[in-house]
């Protein structure tokens, strides 16, 4: 596969993984929401779920954007000048940190704007596990371009050459 085709496939892979994580977050968060949404709060679970769906879409867009930004930066902007210049781990960590921060800021900020959306601590933790760990960390391990394939933490364990090749 040529470079353009590979780039297109990896971008579509990032979008597809983010969409699947959004579906998982929606259904898992719905199960968690049943524990803290009550009619005494003046809201039914069905209404809460409709508002939660918008939160999941916003969080998925933020996490997908940050992963895509890292991918495009590593693919088109960063350069390898010598053998010891391939590790851009600090830039990767900054995007990872922003993703982790977004996992907490987006739900609480969205809930502050949308008063019908009540969230507990379990929703940001779910977002952290899905969008932070599986989404950013896992996605960046699988889609980081070859010159930076060992930049994500523990990537050398997962992407190591098989049989010494």
Residue 164: inside a domain, yes or no? no
Dihedral over alpha carbons 28, 30, 33, 38 (to 10 degrees): -160
Q: What is the pTM of this model?
A: 0.86
Q: What is the pLDDT of residue 87?
A: 57
pLDDT in single tens digits along all 165 residues of the chain: 787 888 899 899 999 999 999 999 999 999 998 888 877 677 888 889 999 999 999 999 999 999 999 999 888 888 766 555 555 778 888 999 999 999 999 999 999 998 888 888 999 999 999 999 999 988 888 888 877 777 787 777 777 666 655
Residue 160: inside a domain, yes or no? no
User: Could you tell me the residue range of the domain that residue 64 belongs to?
Assistant: 3-79+88-153
SS3 145: coil
Q: What is the pLDDT of residue 86?
A: 52
Is 150 in contact with 156 (CB distance < 8 Å)? yes
Residue 69: inside a domain, yes or no? yes
Residue 161: inside a domain, yes or no? no
Residue 158: inside a domain, yes or no? no
Query: Token match 């803290």: residue?
Result: 36
State how many domains the chain has: 1
Q: What is the pLDDT of residue 11?
A: 92
Tokens in use for 29?
């968060």
What distances in angstroms separate CA 114 from CA 1, 110, 124, one per listed residue?
46, 6, 16
Q: What is the pLDDT of residue 150?
A: 74
Q: What is the pLDDT of residue 84?
A: 57
Residue 162: inside a domain, yes or no? no
Q: What is the pLDDT of residue 124?
A: 94
Is 113 in contact with 105 (CB distance < 8 Å)? no
Q: In angstroms, rounded to a whole number, what is the distance separating the alpha carbons of residues 144 and 14?
A: 11
Residue 165: inside a domain, yes or no? no
């Amino acid at each position: 596969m040529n470079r353009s085709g590979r780039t297109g496939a990896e971008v579509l892979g990032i979008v597809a993984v983010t969409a699947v994580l959004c579906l998982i977050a929606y259904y898992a968060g719905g199960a968690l929401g049943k524990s803290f949404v009550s009619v005494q709060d003046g809201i039914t679970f069905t209404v809460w779920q409709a508002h939660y769906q918008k939160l999941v879409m916003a969080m998925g867009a933020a996490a997908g954007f940050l992963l895509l930004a890292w991918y495009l930066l590593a693919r088109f902007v960063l350069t390898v000048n010598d053998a010891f210049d391939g590790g851009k781990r600090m830039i990767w960590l900054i995007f990872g940190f922003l993703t982790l921060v977004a996992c907490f800021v987006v739900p609480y900020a969205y809930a502050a704007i949308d008063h019908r959306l009540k969230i507990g601590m379990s929703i940001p933790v779910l977002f952290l596990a899905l969008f932070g760990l599986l989404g950013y960390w896992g996605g960046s391990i699988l889609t980081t371009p070859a010159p930076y394939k060992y930049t994500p933490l523990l990537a050398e364990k997962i992407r190591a050459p098989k049989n010494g090749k």
